């Protein structure tokens, strides 16, 4: 999702630490605990058969240009529910025993990153990955979308497009497709391929031949 070097901690998409602390103190009496199983996954992950059908239906095309691309053309994070923005909503969904303050900032909890198998207890160590990166979407057809449609894509909570993972892992992924980047935890590659395929299918995005081959190989490892 980001081209930032893996050793850097990106803070721009998170609430500033001072603001988080202040909000936590101000809303301490309103703290809410959200319990989620560690195995929680994004919604809408298809079966192997459905993913295979969707992969077969996707249009193979040469990769488009990143000319004109900007993350600002995919507005995020937007208000998702109440005082929670999309990032905060995913942190609640994917975490275990998540505590949020009155402004919906996560003050504590546990997050398991299925990409690398790491577990974190600070929300600042967790990024929300766009499974299909924004720049990849741009190169695959989103360059012709309206800003409103790109906003919907960047904040899609209905399909398996957003997932909480280790921040440095997300940053090392950048905008790569599965032909050059896959989760280091090989047991998750089946699920990752199904997520990627169904997102591209539902948003009518194209894919490259090398990307399709990689996805097929990953999908072949699925039991169902």
Contact 117, 185 (CB under 8 A): yes
Res 41: pLDDT? 78
Find the DSSP H helices in the chain.
17-26, 48-57, 86-94, 134-139, 147-154, 167-173, 189-202, 209-219
Contact 116, 168 (CB under 8 A): no
Sign of CA dihedral 202, 206, 209, 210: negative
Res 40: pLDDT? 54
Mean pLDDT along residues 132-161: 98
Sequence-distant (≥ 6) Cβ neighbours of residue 133 within 8 angstroms: 1, 173, 174, 175, 176
Sign of CA dihedral 149, 4, 109, 22: negative
Alpha-carbon Rg for the chain, nearest whole angstrom, is 17
First-to-last alpha carbon distance for the chain, in angstroms, is 28
What CA–CA distance (Å, rounded) separates 145 from 33? 38
Question: How many other CB atoms sit within 10 Å of the CB of residue 206?
Answer: 17
Residue 181 in this model has a pLDDT that exceeds 60? yes
Token pair in block for residue 217: 């190989």
Among residues 203, 153, 206, the alpha carbon closest in space to that of 177 is found at 206
Going by their DSSP bridges, the two strands 84-85 and 95-100 should be labelled as unpaired
| From 17-21, 122-126, 187-191, the region with the lowest mean pLDDT | 17-21
Mean pLDDT along residues 66-87: 96
pTM as predicted: 0.83
């Amino acid at each position: 999702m980001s081209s930032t070097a893996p050793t850097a901690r990106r803070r721009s998409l998170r609430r500033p630490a001072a603001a988080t602390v202040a909000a936590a103190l101000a809303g301490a009496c309103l703290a809410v605990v959200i319990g989620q199983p560690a195995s929680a996954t994004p919604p809408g992950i298809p079966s192997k058969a459905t993913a295979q059908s969707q992969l077969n239906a996707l249009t193979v095309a040469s990769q488009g240009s990143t000319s004109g691309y900007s993350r600002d053309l995919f507005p995020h994070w937007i208000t998702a529910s109440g005082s929670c923005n999309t990032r905060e909503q995913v942190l609640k969904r994917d975490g275990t025993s998540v505590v949020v303050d009155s402004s919906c900032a996560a003050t504590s909890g546990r997050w398991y990153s299925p990409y690398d198998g790491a577990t974190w207890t600070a929300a600042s160590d967790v990024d929300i990955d766009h499974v299909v990166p924004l720049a990849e979407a741009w190169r695959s057809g989103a360059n012709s979308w309206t800003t409103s449609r790109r906003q919907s894509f960047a904040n899609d909570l209905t399909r398996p497009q957003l997932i909480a993972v280790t921040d440095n892992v997300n940053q090392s992924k950048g905008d790569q497709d599965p032909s050059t980047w896959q989760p280091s935890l090989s047991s998750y590659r089946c699920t990752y391929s199904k997520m990627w395929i169904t997102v591209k299918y539902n948003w009518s995005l194209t894919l490259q031949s090398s990307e399709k081959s990689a996805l097929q190989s990953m999908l072949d490892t699925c039991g169902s």
